[in-house]
């Protein structure tokens, strides 16, 4: 300012007015540069999301902001104006990181559209996993709506080794044949190879491989520890009667994690835990307090689903689950089972819904600070469980807005930041997911917090939710104005470093 005054006083009186105008223009130009050093307002981005309530669980940002997206990344977050070739007015809407599902299945490769309409931008197959990591990723390259990743799976590796021809889950030797010492060494070799090829975790469904000894499971944990990979585990037992209780099953894998130093993630705690879920959560909290790296997840439904021809329904299932035939629903027809239809369909093989989880248990699991949200989802030709199309909208509509079981930011943390953090040591690219910050991947969900609700039911499991307005995957609008976009596949692989 002093230089500007000196300039004016030194100029001939006749030219003072012109000089004032020039200096004012220079000052204005300088103030524009100083006031917006990033030049965000002057740049045209690919997409700008304007006037939305931006919630980022990592920074705890919860404020009206404008977000700019370009080249697949978040490039600006501003309270000031931003300009873009595509403008999305998000006034009255929430802008959050894209939801990350750590527990999904896709045996028929048809489920991405249901997931993305529920706000999921990254989905992992980590419980069952695959025996062929390279092949699994290759089949999805350039074809996926959302980001994807997989574990090297104890189940499929065991099925492959023992020649089990079951569909998705073992129905023969893969589940029921005991492994010799030589078999265990071969399993270890194949599991280690999967980690070398970039699997993001090691997957276990111990309930589906009852012949797998505790020593075999411990040896697989050692493989995971050697590769710096977390173990994602379906517990061995779901019952409440000694000696095959879910308490004992959790003790087994906590011990394996403590012995080997392997990070442990327990899948669908409320589904395996049933009425004992609060006790299992207490065990996990106690283990965490003693320095063990243990996490867990849940889904917001009172029924589960699995294959009727799996080991889950070996003799003794009624006593273990505490249910009868009438608590099973055959997915293909919607009928409740009887002793006769159970025997017939078990030989045929297929999906069955299991009604056994009390609502108060679901509520406690959803509200617990220990749990992430994960769906355990898949549909086959539109048939299956409503959790595929409704898990995340159900959390936000029924448990946040209606029941007030948890806050909105806490729910979003369970869906975004927590799952990203679970995997980021093994797969560093996850450090750029689950966050809204400059430089993070532009995986974003824009939803109406007053309208979001699940639409899928057990009778109509393939029904889209309401209230999800826009979804971006790597900067591409996959859902726009509530409608799924066609002809695009912006999903990218999430993979650990390949050796």
Dmax over CA atoms of the chain, in Å, equals: 107
Q: Which of 452, 447, 421, 471 is nearest to 57 (CA)?
A: 421
Q: What is the arrangement of strands in the sheet containing 328-330, beginning at the earlier edge strand? A: 303-307, 351-355, 328-330
> Which has more confidence, 242 or 390?
390
Whether 353 has a pLDDT exceeding 80, the answer reads: yes
Ranking 1-10, 395-404, 434-443 by mean pLDDT, the lowest is: 1-10
Tens-digit pLDDT profile for residues 100-110: 999 999 866 67
Domain boundaries, the chain: 2-35, 101-302+357-435+457-462
Of the pLDDT bands very low, low, confident and very high (cuts 50, 70, 90), residue 312 is very high
Pairing of the two strands 44-56 and 61-70 = antiparallel
Q: Residue 106: its pLDDT value, please?
A: 83
The per-residue pLDDT for range 276-303, each reduced to its tens digit, is 999 999 999 999 999 999 999 999 999 9
Q: CATH assignment of 101-302+357-435+457-462?
A: 3.20.20.140
pLDDT bin (cut points 50, 70, 90) of residue 42 is low
The position carrying tokens 């020649």 is: 163
Judged against a pLDDT cut of 80, whether residue 18 lies above it is answered with no
Task: Dump pLDDT digits (tens) for 151-210.
Answer: 999 999 999 999 999 989 999 999 999 999 999 999 999 999 999 999 999 999 999 999
pLDDT at 16: 45
Query: Residue 19: is its pLDDT beyond 50?
Result: no
Per-residue pLDDT, averaged over 136-142, amounts to: 95
pLDDT of 5 over the 60 cut: no
Beta carbons of 430 and 208 less than 8 angstroms apart: no
- Long-range contacts of residues 87-90, Cβ cutoff 8 Å, at least 24 apart: 87/47, 87/48, 87/50, 88/47, 88/48, 88/49, 88/50, 88/446, 88/470, 89/50, 89/51, 90/49, 90/50, 90/51, 90/52, 90/53, 90/446, 90/469, 90/470
Chain segment 76-91, per-residue pLDDT in tens: 999 999 999 999 999 9
Q: Inform me whether the pLDDT recorded for 313 exceeds 50.
A: yes
Q: Is residue 472 scored above 50 in pLDDT?
A: yes
41, pLDDT greater than 80? no
Residue 26: predicted pLDDT: 36
pLDDT at 107: 63
Token pair 């869906």 in the structure block, residue: 415
């Amino acid at each position: 300012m002093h230089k500007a005054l000196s300039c004016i006083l030194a100029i001939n009186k006749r030219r003072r007015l012109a000089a004032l105008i020039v200096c004012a223009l220079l000052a204005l130009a300088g103030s524009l540069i100083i006031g917006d050093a990033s030049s965000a307002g002057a740049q045209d981005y690919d997409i700008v999301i304007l006037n939305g309530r931006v919630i980022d669980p990592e920074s705890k940002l919860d404020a009206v902001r404008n977000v700019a997206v370009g080249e697949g990344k978040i490039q600006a977050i501003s309270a000031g104006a931003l300009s873009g070739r595509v403008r999305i007015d998000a006034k009255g809407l929430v802008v959050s990181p894209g939801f990350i599902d750590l527990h999904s299945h896709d045996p028929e490769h048809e489920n991405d559209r249901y997931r993305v309409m529920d706000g999921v931008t990254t989905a992992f197959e980590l419980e069952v996993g695959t025996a062929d990591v390279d092949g699994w990723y290759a089949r999805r390259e350039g074809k996926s709506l959302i980001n994807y990743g997989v574990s090297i799976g104890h189940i499929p590796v065991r099925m492959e080794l023992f020649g089990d021809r079951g569909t998705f889950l073992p129905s023969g030797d893969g589940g029921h044949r005991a492994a010799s010492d030589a078999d265990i060494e071969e399993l270890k070799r194949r599991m280690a190879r999967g980690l070398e090829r970039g699997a993001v975790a090691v997957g276990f469904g111990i309930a589906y491989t009852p012949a797998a000894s505790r020593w075999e499971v411990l040896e697989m944990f050692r493989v995971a520890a050697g590769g710096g990979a977390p173990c994602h585990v379906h517990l061995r037992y779901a019952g409440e009667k000694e000696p095959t209780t879910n308490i004992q099953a959790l003790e087994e894998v906590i011990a394996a994690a403590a012995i080997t130093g392997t990070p442990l993630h327990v899948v669908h705690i409320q589904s395996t835990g049933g009425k004992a879920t609060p006790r299992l959560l207490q065990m996990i909290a106690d283990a965490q307090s003693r320095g063990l790296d243990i996490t867990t997840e849940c889904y917001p439904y009172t029924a589960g689903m699995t294959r009727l021809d799996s080991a889950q329904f070996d003799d003794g299932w009624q006593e273990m689950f505490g249910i009868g035939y009438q608590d099973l629903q055959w997915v293909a027809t919607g009928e409740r089972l009887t002793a006769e239809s159970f025997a017939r369909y078990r030989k045929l093989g297929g999906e069955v819904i299991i009604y056994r989880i009390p609502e108060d248990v679901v509520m406690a699991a959803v509200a617990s600070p220990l749990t992430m949200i994960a769906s355990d989802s898949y549909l086959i030709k539109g048939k299956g469980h409503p959790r595929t199309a409704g898990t995340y909208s159900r959390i936000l509509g029924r448990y946040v807005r209606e029941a007030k079981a948890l806050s909105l930011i806490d729910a979003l943390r369970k869906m975004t930041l927590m799952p990203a953090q679970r995997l980021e040591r093994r797969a560093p690219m996850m450090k750029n997911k689950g966050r809204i910050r400059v430089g993070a991947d532009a995986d974003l969900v824009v939803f109406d917090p007053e309208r979001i609700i699940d639409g899928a039911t057990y009778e109509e499991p393939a029904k889209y939710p309401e209230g999800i307005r826009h979804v971006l995957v790597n900067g591409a609008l996959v859902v726009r104005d509530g409608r799924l976009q066609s002809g695009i596949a912006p999903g990218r692989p999430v993979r650990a470093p390949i050796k």
